[in-house]
Each structure stands twice: as structure tokens, then as C-alpha cells.
Amino acid sequence: MGIELTTAEEAQLRQIAAKTGRDVRVLVEEAIRQYADSIAITDLNSEDVAEVQLALVAELPGISSWKARTG
């Protein structure tokens, strides 16, 4: 897999690598791994969210009377 960086981005990576004593390749791999992990965490299906919300609302005591007053 190839990653294209601007000259400025590559320079910043090299500066970070020099300051931290780490290899540029390691920094890039870590950044990609963290990005993939964050995408996996936030990759939600809206139908799943709605289903869970409905299930939770059904468990709230008195929700019917509250809903009747606000809706």
C-alpha cells in the first residue's frame, strides 16, 4: 500500500520521528492503525442506533405520560 504525502506533511513526519527517536514508517503505521480503530468504533448503523434507543425508552418508567405531555 502506498501513501502520498505533501512535502510539508513528510517534513512534519520526519521532524516528529527525529524528536521521538522513532522510524517514520512506524509513526505512519501507528497513525493508520489508530484511524482504523476510531473508524471501527464510530462506524454505526443508524438502524441499530434507533432500535437500541427504542428498547431503552421502553424501559424508562413513566415515559408514556412524559411523551404525552411533550408530544
Residue 31 lies in a domain: yes
Residue 15 lies in a domain: yes
pTM of the model: 0.51
Residue 63 lies in a domain: yes
Residue 54 lies in a domain: yes
Domain count, the chain: 1
18-to-9, 13, 23, 63, 69 alpha-carbon distances in Å: 14, 9, 8, 58, 62
Per-residue pLDDT of the chain in tens (71 residues, 90 and over written 9): 677 888 988 899 899 899 999 998 888 888 888 888 887 776 667 677 778 777 777 666 666 666 677 65
Q: What residues have CB less than 8 Å from 27, skipping those under 6 apart? A: 13, 16, 17, 20
Sole residue written with cell 504525502? 5
The domain containing residue 38 runs over which residues?
7-70
pLDDT for the residue 63: 62
pLDDT for the residue 49: 74
Sole residue written with cell 441499530? 48
